[in-house]
Copies of this chain bind each other. A is one copy, B any other.
Amino acid sequence: MASPSTEPVAIIGASGALGFGLALRLAHTGVSIAIGSRDPMRAEQTAVRACELLPEGSFSAHDNEGAARAAQTVILSVPFRNQSETLANLKHALSPGQLLIDATVPLAAAVAGKATRMLGVWQGSAAQQALEMVPDGVRVVSALHTVSAASLADLEHPLDQDVLVCGDSRADKRGAAELIERIDGLRCVDCGRLEMARTTEALTALLISVNARYKTHAGIRLTNLPTALWE
C-alpha cells in the first residue's frame, strides 16, 4: 500500500477558487486529485483547466459523490451557503474511516452580508456542523481557511505561512498535516480541538479585512513555536 500522502485526494468544490488552488498545489507534489463539483460538466472543465496549467498533474473529474468515493481523504471546500446541502448529498458517498478536511468558512457573504463578518453557527463552527452531518466514523479535521486561493493557484507564488489545524484526534490532525505540508511553504500547527475552528474560521474574515486595507493576500504565522510540531 502506498503511504497515505501519495494516495489520491478528493476535493469537493474543486471548481471554486480555494478548491482549485489546492488541487493544483497538491497535484504539483504528485498527489492524484479527484476533482468534485455539483455539476459533472463543471468538474470536467475544471480538470481540463488544471491539466493545462499543470500538464504533469493527475486529475480525474467527478460529481461530488463520485469524488468522495474516489479517495480516503476528502477536502471540503465549498461556500458555506452550500455546505449543509453538500454534506447531506454525500451521506451515502462518505464511509467510516475517511478523513474529511473541512475548509468551509461561515462568512456573512453567504447571506449577502459583508465578507469581513461571520455568521454564528449554532454548532459553533462550520467544522462542527460538518462533524454533525457526516456519517459515523468519518473523521473531521478543520484547516486551510487562511491560505489565499489566489496565492495557491499561482504556482510561481512562493507560500510562506501556517495552516491552523483543529480536530479532536491528534492522529487525524497529523494525517491532514502530512498531506498539507507536501505543499512547499505551508507549515501546519495543531491549534487544539475541533471547537477551536470557530476562531480559525473567523480569521478568514479578519484577513479579508486586512487584505482590503493593504491590497494584498496576507497569511498567518505563529511565532515562537518549537521546530518539530508533529512529533
Contact = CB atoms under 8 A, between A and B. Distances in A.
Interface of A: 116-118, 148, 151, 160-161, 164, 189-193, 195-196, 198-200, 202-203, 205-207, 209-210, 212-226, 229
Contacts of A199: 118, 199, 202-203, 205-206
6 tightest CB-CB pairs across the interface, nearest first?
A192-B209, A221-B221, A219-B223, A199-B202, A218-B222, A199-B206
Contacts of A212: 192
Contacts of A206: 164, 191-192, 196, 199-200
A218 to B, nearest CB: 5
A108 to B, nearest CB: 11
A82 to B, nearest CB: 23
Contact of A196 (B164, B209, B222): B209
SS of A interface (majority):
mixed
A214 B210 contact: no
Nearest to A116: B192
Nearest to A160: B223
B220 A225 contact: no
B209 A191 contact: yes
Contacts of A151: 224
Contact of A223 (B195, B203, B221): B221
A217 B210 CA distance: 24
A219 B217 CA distance: 20
Contacts of A207: 222
A190 B203 contact: no
A85 B71 CA distance: 55
Given A117-B195, A148-B224, A191-B206, 5 more contacts: A191-B209, A214-B229, A218-B223, A221-B222, A221-B223
- Between A191, A199, A224, the greatest number of chain B beta carbons within 10 A of the residue's beta carbon is seen for A224
Nearest to A202: B199
22 contacts: A116-B192, A116-B193, A116-B196, A160-B223, A190-B210, A193-B209, A196-B205, A196-B206, A199-B199, A199-B202, A199-B205, A202-B202, A210-B225, A214-B226, A216-B226, A218-B223, A219-B222, A219-B223, A219-B224, A220-B222, A221-B221, A221-B223
